[in-house]
């Protein structure tokens, strides 16, 4: 059995985050020692590692909740899991597209700057007037 601190060290997840995951039901409520210290077993360690990896891949908490629910039924078809992963891939591709547009806009602003005075700085001018941007790079 692991304390919350040892669980955090083993998974690289901070203690407040572990408590939060318990609070929202992603992790089961921990057992307690005689001194009322939270204690976690291997199953919770594995579940938390799963959550951390899914978060690193950008999955939102609700998708992780769904994936965990599905993983609790290993004999079921995995089509729903694939759908969740495809939705995440689509979201990542959309973010990449926005980042590429942002990169292109920053290159354009810098390339157009004559490196004179601030008064004539194209970067400052473009930042002050979004209409001067060549690409749509706003939030989606």
Contacts of 8 (CB under 8 A, 6+ apart): 14, 15, 17, 18
Provide the whole-model pTM. 0.78
> What is the radius of gyration, based on Cα positions, of the chain?
23
Q: Is the predicted pLDDT of residue 74 greater than 80, yes or no?
A: yes
pLDDT at site 50: 97
Per-residue buried b or exposed e for 90-106, using 16+ beta carbons within 10 Å of the residue's own CB: eeeeeeeebeebeeebe
Q: Where are the domains of the chain?
A: 1-57, 95-140
pLDDT digits over 122-134, tens only? 788 888 888 878 7
Average pLDDT over residues 66-94: 95
Q: Which fold has domain 1-57?
A: Multidrug-efflux Transporter Regulator; Chain: A; Domain 2 (1.10.1660)
pLDDT at site 138: 62
Number of neighbours of residue 23 by Cβ within 10 angstroms: 10
Q: Is the predicted pLDDT of residue 49 greater than 90, yes or no?
A: yes
Q: Is the predicted pLDDT of residue 139 greater than 70, yes or no?
A: no
Q: Is the predicted pLDDT of residue 119 greater than 90, yes or no?
A: no
How does residue 21 score in pLDDT terms, banded at 50, 70 and 90? very high
User: SS3 for 59?
Assistant: coil
Computed over every residue of the chain, the mean pLDDT equals 90
User: Taking CA 64 as the corner, what is the angle to CA 56 and CA 6, rounded to the nearest 5 degrees?
Assistant: 65
pLDDT at site 23: 95
How does residue 116 score in pLDDT terms, banded at 50, 70 and 90? confident
- Distance (Å, whole) CA 20 – CA 75: 30
Average pLDDT over residues 95-123: 85
CA-closest candidate to residue 39, choices 62, 61, 7, 63: 7
Give the ranges where 1-140 is alpha helix by DSSP (H): 4-11, 15-23, 42-56, 61-71, 79-112, 122-128
pLDDT at site 123: 83
């Amino acid at each position: 059995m692991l304390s919350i601190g040892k669980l955090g060290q083993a998974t690289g997840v901070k203690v407040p985050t572990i408590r939060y995951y318990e609070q929202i039901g992603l992790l089961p409520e921990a057992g307690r020692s005689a001194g009322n210290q939270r204690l976690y077993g291997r199953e919770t360690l594995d579940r938390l590692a799963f959550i951390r990896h899914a978060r690193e891949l950008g999955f939102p908490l609700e998708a992780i909740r769904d994936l965990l629910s599905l993983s609790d039924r290993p004999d079921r078809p995995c089509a729903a899991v694939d759908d969740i992963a495809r939705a995440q891939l689509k979201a990542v591709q959309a973010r990449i597209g926005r980042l590429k547009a942002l990169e292109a806009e920053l290159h354009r602003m810098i390339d157009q700057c004559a490196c004179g005075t601030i008064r004539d700085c194209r970067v400052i001018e473009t930042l002050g007037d979004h209409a001067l941007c060549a690409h749509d790079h706003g939030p989606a």
